[in-house]
């Protein structure tokens, strides 16, 4: 049986109670219908009953087919009494393949879909001899009836369409994941370039600031040297003038 949920849906919702996600996913990609089939196949009768009570979306024959295949007799019985979708020959075929004799007998007594010859083959090949003996003894009564062929063909078509929908959803999820990965890589590269530019700008600012300090210090040192030289020149001139005056006085006194 084809997967009812995508890998992402299985991870996020497969084991959760419907009350935690129904308000978010109702009417989204047949989610409720697929989850009803999923819960039935998993034997999650309480979850299935909750959706039955609070969601009007139908399930499909895959619900009972899956429940029977996996041996969940209580779910099969509840679907038989509470829902009208019924099942296909896949129900008894699946139950026989997995050795669920109690389910095979119940379907034989309560449902008219019957099984295919493949049920005997798989029961025998899997070593479920009691199931094989029961099917062999009653095969003329339980093999699929001609009146079910139209319903079976319709179910096959519905399954093909459902599988195609699932394939398309998985392809969309794959493309979305690839696109997200590509965008993430681009944004990562862009952010890395921005950060490198910031670092370079900070380094440049630091270099400029350091160069400015160095230039200021050089100018200050040059100005201080010029000031010292000017003061020395003024002192020399003043001393020279004073000494010349003193010498003239001394010469005049002689």
pLDDT tens string 152-207 = 555 556 666 777 777 788 888 888 888 888 888 888 888 887 888 777 777 777 77
Q: Is residue 175 one of the residues assigned to a domain? A: yes
Q: Is residue 197 one of the residues assigned to a domain? A: no
Q: Is residue 239 one of the residues assigned to a domain? A: no
Highest mean pLDDT pick, 20-24, 36-40, 183-187? 36-40
pLDDT at position 226 over 90: no
Q: Is residue 94 one of the residues assigned to a domain? A: yes
Task: Give me the helices (H) in the chain, please.
Answer: 7-13, 22-25, 31-42, 45-54, 61-69, 73-82, 89-97, 101-110, 117-125, 129-142, 149-253
CATH number at residue 98: 1.25.40.20
The total number of structural domains that make up the chain: 1
Q: What is the pLDDT of residue 227?
A: 75
Contact assessment for residue 103 and residue 80, using Cβ atoms and an 8 Å cutoff: no
Q: Is residue 15 one of the residues assigned to a domain? A: yes
Q: What is the pLDDT of residue 147?
A: 46
Contact assessment for residue 62 and residue 36, using Cβ atoms and an 8 Å cutoff: no
N- to C-terminal Cα distance for the chain? 139
Q: Is residue 191 one of the residues assigned to a domain? A: no
* Average pLDDT value for residue range 31-42: 91
Q: Is residue 86 one of the residues assigned to a domain? A: yes
Q: What is the pLDDT of residue 160?
A: 66
∠ CA 247-249-253, nearest 5°, is: 115
Q: Is residue 40 one of the residues assigned to a domain? A: yes
Domain of 115 in residue numbering reads as 7-181
């Amino acid at each position: 049986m084809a997967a009812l949920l995508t890998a992402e849906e299985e991870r996020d919702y497969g084991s959760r109670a419907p009350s935690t996600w129904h308000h978010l996913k109702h009417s989204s990609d047949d989610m409720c219908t697929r989850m009803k089939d999923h819960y039935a196949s998993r034997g999650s009768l309480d979850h299935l009953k909750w959706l039955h009570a609070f969601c009007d979306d139908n399930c499909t024959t895959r619900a009972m087919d899956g429940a029977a295949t996996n041996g969940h007799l209580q779910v099969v019985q509840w679907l038989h009494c509470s829902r009208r979708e019924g099942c296909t020959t896949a129900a008894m075929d699946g139950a026989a393949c997995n050795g669920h004799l109690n389910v095979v007998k119940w379907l034989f007594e309560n449902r008219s879909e019957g099984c295919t010859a493949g049920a005997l083959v798989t029961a025998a090949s899997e070593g479920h001899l009691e199931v094989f003996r029961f099917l062999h003894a009653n095969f003329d009564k339980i093999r699929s009836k001609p009146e079910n062929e139209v319903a079976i063909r319709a179910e096959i078509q519905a399954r093909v369409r459902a599988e195609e929908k699932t394939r398309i959803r998985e392809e969309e999820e794959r493309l979305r994941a690839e696109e997200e990965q590509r965008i993430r890589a681009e944004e990562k590269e862009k952010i890395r370039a921005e950060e490198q530019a910031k670092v370079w700008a900070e380094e440049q600012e630091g270099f400029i600031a350091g160069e400015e300090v160095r230039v200021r210090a050089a100018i200050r040192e040059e100005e201080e040297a010029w000031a010292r030289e000017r003061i020395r020149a003024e002192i020399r001139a003043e001393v020279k003038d004073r000494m010349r005056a003193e010498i003239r006085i001394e010469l005049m006194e002689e």
